[in-house]
Amino acid sequence: MVANTIKFLLNNELVKIENLDPNTTVLQYLREEQFKSGTKEGCASGDCGACTVVLAELDTENSGQLTYKSINSCITFVGNLHGKQLITVEDLKEGAQLHHAQQTIVDNHGSQCGFCTPGFVMSSFALHKQNNTPNRAEVLEALAGNLCRCTGYRSIIEAAMTSSKDAREDSFAKHYQATVAALTELEQLPTPALTGNGHNYIAPKNIDELATELTNEPKSTLVAGGTDLALSVTQNLATIDKLVYVGNVAELTTIEETETEIIIGSALPYSEFIDTLHHYYPDLGEMIERIGSKQVRNTGTLGGNVGNASPIGDMPPALIALGATMTLHVQGQERTILVEDYFVDYKKTVLKPSEFIKSIQIPKPTAGQTLKLYKISKRIDDDISAVLAAFFIEQEITENGQKITNVRLAFGGMAAIPKRSPVTEAILLGNSLTKALVAQAKEALTTDFQPMSDVRASDKYRMTVAQNLIEKCYIELQSANARKVIETRVVNHA
């Protein structure tokens, strides 16, 4: 059953949306429909954080609990609000009493023109809802997606670092159980949908509903977090006729582990699987922390990153290097392919009409394997890569030295699609990693790739940096390898 309505809590009030163009963003809805202008528009592309709001959602892992997530309202479609609580900067203070997240900005002189302030307040509010004594690193992570042009960050960071342990109970804590009950009721409602201005939106609740929807309407556009797709609306002024939201599909929002694999649902946001991947592959965890900002990672998904098929998406090279597979689903039928076989040409993939990405399977590491990831961008946080290098190397280490027994070197930003480097890999395979071999590998890379120049980097820069990353990886592995060779000798001669 489908209900032609979107229902959510705006602060504590149940709101029903009907007859609204589903291309409307949450920011437009707040400012133009609700006349709540506290949430600001800076860039309308997810880069500045001025539009930050917070969504409270039922925690799927801890029943009866809520999670609070900062998001960019400028790149979130209004339909994605269904079943959630939307909290804006207007909702924080009670009477004349500022919220802790606001009062600390005042106390630390953290605002001048004030344009960025609502966004910082909301990011800090979300952080303190999960962690009332955040350290500096946690604050920097939470605020990295918010820009301030006049105050300077020191005072804002100090404000967010102020403990909220002894702060007054806020209205969200007071209404906690009522909010859980209201969201639980919304969860039981029929499949939400929205029609307006001749455009449609639907949010299937399970995989069969999704598959049927896409089979009936193969020209639909899938949307997960919308952190890529919404830019086509806010920046290119496109309108999307039919949006199908995957974020409510139970089977696409899980993470599972088997003995050999980590299986990540395509619609699970980064923030919900980053810790698991960090545990198995520290380099991968650190790299994901550099995808966009906290707001982007709270909504952006693996399915969206791979599905977008951008040559500069960060996850595809890492997944290719790891030998990850992906499961594609169409009307009850599934096929599993290597992620590296998904990309055909610039923005062209093997995805058939009505087919969608269900999950990505990442092999767990075994002894002797190393994954090294290098993201080259102009800033550490919230920046798209010029080059992303992902090196998976398996070595056999004996007391006489080491030999490469398996190697996959994948790059983003070096071609029209993320891809491996077969000529360079052939040079390395079966050989010991030496300075001379690395020099040959660097040379071979010019056969594998002829990168292009664009605003991010020139062709020459891309090639030079990619070659140097092979050398960097070699230097980093050298000392670890030398240590392992010595350890093997000690064990064998003990």
Ligand X SMILES: Cc1cc2nc3c(=O)[nH]c(=O)nc-3n(C[C@H](O)[C@H](O)[C@H](O)COP(=O)(O)OP(=O)(O)OC[C@H]3O[C@@H](n4cnc5c(N)ncnc54)[C@H](O)[C@@H]3O)c2cc1C
In whole angstroms, what is the distance from residue 404 CA to residue 415 CA? 26
Q: Which stretch binds ligand FES (CB under 6 A): 143-151, 179-187, 221-229, 378-386?
A: 143-151
Asked if residue 228 binds ligand X (CB under 6 A), the reply is yes
Q: Tell me which amino acid residue 325 is.
A: T
Single out the residue of 79, 298, 65 nearest to residue 179, CA to CA: 65
Please give the residues from 22 up to 61 whose contact with ligand FES meets the rule CB under 6 A: 41-44, 46-51
Instruction: Indicate which single residue of 291, 324, 441, 457 sits in contact with ligand X (rule: CB under 6 A).
Output: 291
Contact map string, positions 303 to 322, toward ligand X, x by CB under 6 A:
xxx-xx----xx--------
Give CA angle at 98 (180, 12), nearest 5°. Answer: 25
Partner residues linked to 372 by β-bridges: 391
Rule CB under 6 A: which of 371-410 touch ligand X?
382, 384
H helix runs in 144-261, sequence order:
153-161, 171-174, 176-187, 207-216, 229-234
Residues 266-285 interacting with ligand FES (rule: CB under 6 A): none
Give the shortest CB-74-to-ligand FES separation in angstroms. 3
Closest CA to 130 of 181, 217, 206, 59: 59
Q: At what angle do helices 117-130 and 136-143 cross, to 10 degrees?
A: 130
112 binds, among ligand X, ligand FES, none (CB under 5 to 8 A by kind): ligand FES
Q: What angle do CA 203, 205, 211 make, to 5 degrees?
A: 80
Is 224 a binding residue for ligand X by CB under 6 A? The answer is yes
Check binding of 151 to ligand FES (CB under 6 A). yes
Are the C-beta atoms of 246 and 266 separated by less than 8 Å?
A: yes
CB 456 to ligand X: min, Å? 12
Residue 200 DSSP SS3: strand
Return the number of the residue (45 or 212) whose C-beta is nearest ligand X: 45
* Helix boundaries (H) for 364-450: 422-428, 435-448
CB of 101 to ligand X, least distance (A): 22
Fill in the amino acid letter for 290: R
Q: Nearest approach, Cβ of 297 to ligand X (angstroms)? A: 8
Residues 86-115 contacting ligand FES, CB under 6 A: 111-115
* Contact footprint for ligand X (CB under 6 A): 45-47, 75, 221-229, 246, 266-267, 291-292, 296, 299-301, 303-305, 307-308, 313-314, 356-357, 382, 384
* Contact footprint for ligand FES (CB under 6 A): 41-44, 46-51, 72, 74, 111-117, 148-151
